[in-house]
Amino acid sequence: MKAKHLRNRWLGLLPLGLIFFLSGCGQLEMTVLDPKGPVAQSQYDLIVYSLWFMLGIIVVVFALFTYMIIKYRENRPGRKESDYDPNLHGNTTIEIIWTIIPVIIVILLSIPTVTTLFDLEKPPEPAAGEEEKEPLVVHATTADWKWFFSYPEQDIETVNYLHIPTDRPIEFRLTSADAMTALWIPALGGQKYNMAGMMTTLYLEADEEGGYDGRNSNFNGEGFAAQTFKVHAESEEDFNAWTQKIQNEAPELTADRYNELLKPGLTDVESFSSTHLDYVKHHTKDGMGYTIEHFRDLYGKKLDLYEIEKQESFQ
């Protein structure tokens, strides 16, 4: 009786997992599983490809496991004498088989992983029939706890929001003014670290217009939760109109204003008609200590950023 009870509970596990899985995947509402650009798409493809293998492994192991604990429980009615062999301790053939199969799975997973890795180092290929476009260069710089997006070609800079044209690769040049952070826009693709004294490159592209959530995904202190930004992906014309507007209407980013913004704390969205790249290069050996040298005293203080809790959304 007890054993039957047990078995039912074990079996109960399978549908439980399945319900979760289907309710999750079936609707495809999760950001990572709903890609809005070629980079996110290639990662999505890789994830889905691997998921089939993983599901296969899970099904095989769960099935074997269920079979074993039902068939070979000690007090199963109708156990036969032949169901017990205490000295069985190996079988070379079967052991070779279950070593080789995982090796094959690893190979099958490695090939697309490696090719995708190399692809992601380059700007995404244009869709069939479309011309190749020069990537738009955007310097993404973080400071506690805000984002600076500098567009050197357009000579504009935004704080805590980002405008990008669709169907054109964006070449993010990532660096940090202080702690290590990471730029992550899950709808458009995976993340990469921003580090002071270094510059990392991340290619992303949006192929659908819309607003996407971006954030720093690497913990960097008290204001971490609020270090988010909105990505506005729009047509080339709208994007150009926007840059025009900023160039004409926004104030210049002076060195003083930039220093003010670098201080640890939260800031609202802002726009400027020049960039900070002339004042300091955080990614160079000379510039990596800039913020610490200027504002060392401010890092010690706890800011008690209670306003984070009050805000519904940070954008």
Partner 1 sequence: MHITDILVTGEPIIYGAMVSMALGGLAILFVLTYFKKWGWLWREWLTSVDHKKIGVMYILSALLMLFRGGVDAMMMRVQLAFPDLGFLNSQHYNEIFTTHGTIMIIFMAMPFLIGLMNIIVPLQIGARDFAFPYLNALSFWSFFFGMALFNISFVIGGSPDAGWTSYTPLSGAAMSPGPGQNFYLMGLQLSGIGTLATGINLMVTILKMRAPGMKLFHMPIFTWSTLVTCFIIVFAFPILTVALALLTIDRIFGSQFFTLTGEGLPMMWANLFWMWGHPEVYIVILPAFGIFSEVISTFAKKRLFGYNVMVWSMIVIALLSFLVWVHHFFTMGAGAFVNSVFSVSTMLIAVPTGVKIFNWLATLYKSKIEFTVPMLWSLAFIPSFILGGVTGVMLGMAAADYQFHNSYFLIAHFHYVLIAGTVFACFAGLVFWYPKMFGHKMNERLGRWAFWLFFFGFHVCFFPQYFLGLDGMPRRLFITNVAEWLPLNVISTVGAAGMALGFVVFVYNVYYSFRYSERETTGDSWNGNGRTLEWATTTPVPYYNFATVPYVDEIDPYVRMKEEGKTTFEEDKVKPIHMPSYTGQPFIFMALLGLASFGLIFEWMYLAVFGLIGGVVMMIRRSFDYDDGYYVSVEEIKETEKKARGL
Site for partner 1 in 73-132 (CB under 8 A): 73-74, 82-91, 94-95, 98-99, 102-103, 105-106, 109-110, 113-114, 116-118, 120-121
Least CB distance from residue 242 to partner 1, whole Å? 25
Least CB distance from residue 153 to partner 1, whole Å? 23
| Contact letters for partner 1, residues 272-301 (x by CB under 8 A) | -------------x--xx-xxx--x--xx-
Residue holding tokens 């960039």?
A: 275
8 Å CB contact between 292 and 143:
no
Sole binder of partner 1 in the list 240, 244, 254, 311 (CB under 8 A): 311
Residue holding tokens 């495809």?
A: 28
How many residues in the shown chain lie near partner 1 by CB under 8 A?
110
Least CB distance from residue 251 to partner 1, whole Å? 29
Sole binder of partner 1 in the list 11, 18, 22, 57 (CB under 8 A): 57
Least CB distance from residue 283 to partner 1, whole Å? 12
Residue 147 or 314: the one with the smaller Cβ distance to partner 1 is 314
Least CB distance from residue 38 to partner 1, whole Å? 13
Say whether the peptide bond before residue 145 is cis (omega within 30 degrees of 0): yes
Sole binder of partner 1 in the list 36, 38, 42, 262 (CB under 8 A): 42
Q: How far is CA 133 from CA 128, 191, 199, in A?
A: 13, 23, 23
Least CB distance from residue 217 to partner 1, whole Å? 4
Residue 106 or 255: the one with the smaller Cβ distance to partner 1 is 106
Residue 314: name the closest of 231, 232, 229 by CA. Answer: 229
- Residue 84, burial from CB neighbour count under 10 angstroms (0-12, 13-18, 19+): exposed
Least CB distance from residue 211 to partner 1, whole Å? 13
Measured CA to CA, the distance from residue 249 to residue 3 in angstroms comes to 76
Rounded to the nearest 10 degrees, the angle between the axes of helix 2-25 and helix 38-71 is 170
Q: Which two tokens stand for residue 77?
A: 């009615």
Residue 313 engages partner 1 in binding (rule: CB under 8 A): yes
Measured CA to CA, the distance from residue 90 to residue 47 in angstroms comes to 36
Least CB distance from residue 126 to partner 1, whole Å? 20
Measured CA to CA, the distance from residue 45 to residue 134 in angstroms comes to 25
Site for partner 1 in 213-252 (CB under 8 A): 213, 215, 217-225
Residue 137 engages partner 1 in binding (rule: CB under 8 A): no
Sole binder of partner 1 in the list 11, 18, 22, 69 (CB under 8 A): 69
Residue holding tokens 């160039």?
A: 247
Rounded to the nearest 10 degrees, the angle between the axes of helix 38-71 and helix 92-120 is 160
Q: Which two tokens stand for residue 257?
A: 């204003």
Sole binder of partner 1 in the list 1, 127, 237, 306 (CB under 8 A): 306
Q: Residue 6: which residues within 8 A CB-CB, separation 6 or more?
A: none
Stretch that binds partner 1, among 66-74, 130-138, 154-162, 236-244 (CB under 8 A): 66-74
Measured CA to CA, the distance from residue 70 to residue 4 in angstroms comes to 9
Residue 189 engages partner 1 in binding (rule: CB under 8 A): yes
